[in-house]
Amino acid sequence: MNPGLLHELTKLLGEDSVLHKLEDLFLYEYDGSVEKGLPDVVVFPTTTEHVSQTVKLAAKYEVPVVGRGAGTGLSGGALARAGGVMLVFSRMNRILEIDSENQRAVVQPGVVNFELTRAAEPHGLYFAPDPSSWKSCTIGGNVAENAGGPHTLAYGVTTNHVTALELVLPDGEIVRVGSKHGDAPGYDLAGLFVGSECTLALVTEITVKLSRQPEAVKTLLVIFDSVDDAAESVVDITARAITPAACEMLDGWTLRTVEDYIHAGFPMDSAAVLLIEVEGLAEAVAAQAAAVNEVCSAHHAREVRLARDNAERELLWKGRKNAFGALGRLAPSNYVLDGVIPRSKLPQTLRRIQKIGTHFGFQIGNIFHAGDGNLHPIILYDPRDTAQFERAMQASAEIIRYCLQVGGALTGEHGVGMEKSELMPLVFSDADFSLMRRVHDAFNPDCLLNPGKIFPLNKGCGEIRVRKPPVEAASRP
């Protein structure tokens, strides 16, 4: 660590806001992915001006800058791949305004997703994007990765709910894009920055849309004796132009693990369940619930259960949103994938995932947003076993490649980050990369802001990092 930079950061932020000892830095070398990247120094800004001055200091000393929220990301987007300064936004966590009349909120990037909805509830409002990590992930991280969640099937992902941003550019300049009430004239710059994974600017303030709480909600648990029947039901629901607020699927092995931990009410002897939620005006909700029941029954659903009350509904969703934690009880580590396929390809893709798991020696669980074809296969493995880690990485790459083969996409909500950067040429041409580079270089020409993300080798900044089992820290002095 450059002693001059460390001195100036400490002078700017104070000793309690600057970490530089190795034992402290280890806490920030990982996120929710299998990736690793150790920063040289970690700082905790509390104001936009702090962020601006920190970025200016990093530019002065020509060191990289990485922004980080809660560290729940699953693609390595908030890791310091090339070292440098990591700005952690956990202390910029204030809800600055809730404008209930216009259904808007203005927040700092460190505000936790769930806390925004809690603050909006007394006004009859909520924030629609709801990642499974919503009780810990932050709005700034959601913006960086364009996060989604179960209820974005009907309402869209983060970019559909952001109207304005305050940004700090790589030279420290503070700018604002978008408009509080949306539909600002000119280029949609707010849309450009959402999902850019902090490679163009650091977000220091966010204006979001809040949604009105629906008049009625019905939550259905649909039980199947066949994974194919469950998948075909999803395809048919879409074909009949039925759009639930959420449509989630868990396979039998996964739901049994979840039920053993959460006791949500999932049947232990089923092959798969769909968790479907419809909401809106009472009459429309009743009609949609009946239509879902009809479709699923036609595809041999054993039972369609309707949550009796809000407590039962919340318990079912607790099972879904804590599923990854439940699976974590079975192995030292897990790898949560994020691929997208056309909904019509669900049955064949689930069969292919199981074959891949068998080939590489893994039981792969499936918990995913079935309604929009956003798959989250989860591979359980022991990172201390080098051969097992390598097999897990091979299996994951084969699954994602298959998603692309059937007409899907690399990522639905987790971002590219370090995880999928080397797979990007499977989707984008040299001309595509050239255009993306021109956009990148217009904002971040020196590549000091979050280098080594999104672009593969020779398509952007930084060197390719060969994945290794994430146990190196344990052997360090």
Per residue of the chain (477 residues), give pLDDT as tens.
799 999 999 999 999 999 999 999 999 999 999 999 999 999 999 999 999 999 999 999 999 999 999 999 999 999 999 999 999 999 999 999 999 999 999 999 999 999 999 999 999 999 999 999 999 999 999 999 999 999 989 999 999 999 999 999 999 999 999 999 877 789 999 999 999 999 999 999 999 999 999 999 999 999 999 999 999 999 999 999 999 999 999 999 999 999 999 999 999 999 999 999 999 999 999 999 999 999 999 999 999 999 999 999 999 999 999 998 899 899 999 999 999 999 999 999 999 999 999 999 999 999 999 999 999 999 999 999 999 999 999 999 999 999 999 999 999 999 999 999 999 999 999 999 999 999 999 999 999 999 999 999 666 554 434 455 544 433 333
Q: Measure the CA–CA gap between 215 and 143, rounded to whole angstroms.
A: 28
Instruction: Return the domain boundaries, the chain.
Output: 1-213+423-477, 216-325, 331-405
Task: Please tell me if the domain spanning 216-325 has the same topology as the one spanning 331-405.
Answer: yes
pTM, two decimal places: 0.93
The helix/strand/coil state of 219 is strand
Q: What angle do CA 76, 169, 2 make, to 5 degrees?
A: 70
Q: Measure the CA–CA gap between 352 and 348, rounded to whole angstroms.
A: 6
> Which architecture, in CATH terms, is 1-213+423-477?
2-Layer Sandwich (3.30)
CA atoms within 13 A on the CB side of 398: 17
Q: What is the pLDDT of residue 476?
A: 35
Q: Measure the CA–CA gap between 155 and 150, rounded to whole angstroms.
A: 10
Residue 360 contacts by C-beta under 8 Å, 6 or more apart in sequence?
391, 392, 394, 395, 398
Domain 331-405 matching CATH 3.30.70.2740: the answer reads yes
φ, ψ of residue 384 to 5 degrees: the values are -75, -15
* 281 CB neighbour count, 10 Å cutoff: 11
Q: Measure the CA–CA gap between 372 and 249, rounded to whole angstroms.
A: 11
What CATH number labels 216-325?
Answer: 3.30.70.2190
